Amino acid sequence: MIRAAIAVLFAVLAVPAHAIDIQAVTSPGGVKAWLVQDDSIPFVAVEFAFRGGASLDAPGKRGAINLMTGTLEEGAGSRDSVAFAQAVEDLGAQFSFDVGDDSLSVGMRALSENRDEAAALLAEALTQPRFDDAAVERVRAQVQSIIRSEETDPQAIAAKEMSRQAWGDHPYATSINGTLDSVAALTRQDLVAAKNRVLARDRVVVGAAGDISPEELGLLLDKVLGGLPEQGTAPLPEPADLQLTGGVTVVDWDSPQTVVSFAGPGLPIDDPDYFAAYVANHILGGGGFSSRLMEEIREKRGLTYGVGTTLATGVYGQTWQGGMAGSNATTGQAVDLIKAEWDRMAEGVTDRELTDAKTYLTGEYPLRFDGNGKIAGILAGMQLIGFPIDYINTRNAKVEAVTADDVKRVAGRLLDADGLRFVLVGRPEGIEATDTPEAAEVVN
């Protein structure tokens, strides 16, 4: 689902105290960044994240920011697509350009020996992208191909239908890729406008890790970002109102399995109950092989290869959601089991479950910080969410403080199987759709 990426991001951040020394760096030009300096390997990883992401698409221009992002690396300054890519390869540098609902992220890995040249190239991509006609047409065709692929992918169909029902007229309700029609209509001017909406210094956060000093990072920040506008032309997105209702939607799809997607209300990361929900989710369906749902549906009955849940804590809207795939013949049984476990959480959890969940959630931290690339991404993610720089030192205590009563309370507040929406893509048996007819108007 579209929100899932954000949940993963937060899982990355769910870490307790650990001896990682984060330095706050401000460049001579005033750009702020967080840095973990480590010179043991001669390269640096830097992650630039711009708030708002594809949710800043202008009305009627859905897909513009995604297409723009995909075309940033297709030529800049004096170099066309091929020349630009060759210049990056000549340095042994690696750039990545990705966009999601909440942010547009640009990643860079550069060798210490030619870091400045790599930074200069990245600056060109961000500030002087050419958006040549041939490049735009090529990337447009690729995006349209992806859109067509998603139309025949049951996972994507389920995610799209759930988002449509969940988010009303907020950008979250539709795919960041846009539609075949909206993408077909985008012009070069739309891409320039899209870039100006999102790529600006007033909405960027930066994480860096590796072989670079704070002073050197400051110079790099100004080199890469100095040519960007001070302010984006679009205000940051508004929060979205969750509009999901309980019930079952069936999307007919000829396949031996049904893809089961389910979602209900979630909560933001700054909610006082957030950590209680985080522990509850681990016990319910977040904990891999040890969760209640995996035990009931996979381990005991063999009805699926995998089932899981996640707190999808998007910046602008949140759900508590999950998914699985299983045989059409047993879909009804699986949905009944999901609903039963969803409700049973409000009856409370055992001391053993609570202890194991907390041990896991507080113990997983060192697994997340073993590499410059990962650390740079985590530092950028923390800033996107708005965490303080000492968050890593305080987070563990918040997990430890969660009590069985807290888990029970938050489950009672949020986990109600009657309010859970199921989207089933397949030919499910043993279960009926409950939708009102207007939902049937929307296809694809």
Partner 1 sequence: MHRPALPALLALTLGAAPALAQTAAEMPEGITHFTLPNGLETVVIEDHRAPVVVQMVWYKIGSADEQPGKSGIAHYLEHLMFKGTEKLEPGELSKTVTANGGMDNAFTSYDYTAYFQRIASDRLPLVMEMEADRMANLRIGEDDWQAERQVVLEERAQRVDSDPASLFAEERNATLFYNHPYGRPVIGWRAEMEGLTRDDALAWYDDHYSPNEAILILAGDVTPEKARELAERYYGPIPAKGEAEPRLRPQEPTQRSPRRMEMTDPRVPQPVMTRSYVAPERDPGDQKDAAALTVLAELLGGSMQTSVLGRELAMKGKALWVNAGYDGFSVDPTSFGISLVPADGMAPEEAEAELDRVLARFLETGPDPADLDRVKTQIEAARVYTLDSAHGRAYDYGQGLATGLSVQDVNDWPDILAAVTAEDVMAVARDVLGSKATVTGWLLPPPAAETADTPPAATPTPEVQG
444 binds partner 1 (CB under 8 A): yes
381 binds partner 1 (CB under 8 A): no
Closest C-alpha to 210, from 13, 375, 382, 379: 375
Q: Which stretch binds partner 1 (CB under 8 A): 68-76, 187-195, 236-244, 313-321?
A: 68-76
92 binds partner 1 (CB under 8 A): yes
CB of 67 to partner 1, least distance (A): 10
Nearer to partner 1, 257 or 318 (CB): 257
Nearer to partner 1, 210 or 218 (CB): 210
Q: Are 383 and 34 in contact (CB under 8 A)?
A: yes
Q: How many residues bind partner 1 (CB under 8 A)?
A: 96
425 binds partner 1 (CB under 8 A): yes
327 binds partner 1 (CB under 8 A): yes
Q: Which stretch binds partner 1 (CB under 8 A): 25-33, 67-75, 336-344, 412-420?
A: 67-75
CB of 102 to partner 1, least distance (A): 17
Among 290, 332, 344, 413, binds partner 1 (CB under 8 A): 290
370 binds partner 1 (CB under 8 A): yes
Token pair 């992918």 is at which residue?
A: 153
Nearer to partner 1, 58 or 111 (CB): 111
How many Cα atoms are found within 13 Å in the side-chain-facing hemisphere of 179?
Answer: 10
Which residues, numbered 186-245, are part of the site for partner 1 (CB under 8 A)? none
Based on the number of CB atoms within 10 Å of its own CB, is 393 exposed (0-12), middle (13-18) or buried (19 or more)?
middle
The residues, ordered by sequence, that sit 6+ positions from 443 with a Cβ below 8 Å of its Cβ are none
CB of 287 to partner 1, least distance (A): 6
433 binds partner 1 (CB under 8 A): yes
User: If you write DSSP's letter for every residue of 7-35 in order, what string do you get?
Assistant: HHHHHHH--------PEEEE-TTS-EEEE
CA distance 327 to 322: 17
- In 23-151, DSSP assigns E strands to 23-26, 32-37, 43-51, 94-99, 103-111
Nearer to partner 1, 379 or 414 (CB): 379
CA distance 34 to 305: 40
Q: Are 41 and 211 in contact (CB under 8 A)?
A: yes
Buried b (16+ CB within 10 A) or exposed e, 144-165: bebbeebeebbebbbbbbbbbb
Amino acid at 367: L
350 binds partner 1 (CB under 8 A): no
For residue 235, count other CB atoms closer than 10 A to its CB. 10
SS3 (DSSP) at 431: coil
251 binds partner 1 (CB under 8 A): yes
CB of 412 to partner 1, least distance (A): 25
Q: Are 313 and 269 in contact (CB under 8 A)?
A: yes
Question: Helices (DSSP H) in 274-424: which residue ranges?
Answer: 274-281, 292-293, 331-344, 351-363, 365-368, 372-385, 391-400, 404-414
Which residues, numbered 107-166, are part of the site for partner 1 (CB under 8 A)? 109, 111, 134, 137-139, 141-146, 148-149, 151-152, 154, 157, 161
CB of 268 to partner 1, least distance (A): 26
Which residues, numbered 11-40, are part of the site for partner 1 (CB under 8 A)? 38, 40
Nearer to partner 1, 206 or 425 (CB): 425
Q: Which stretch binds partner 1 (CB under 8 A): 5-13, 66-74, 167-175, 227-235?
A: 66-74
CB of 413 to partner 1, least distance (A): 26
82 binds partner 1 (CB under 8 A): yes
Question: Helices (DSSP H) in 212-350: which residue ranges?
Answer: 214-225, 274-281, 292-293, 331-344
Among 299, 336, 390, 405, binds partner 1 (CB under 8 A): 299
Nearer to partner 1, 378 or 414 (CB): 378
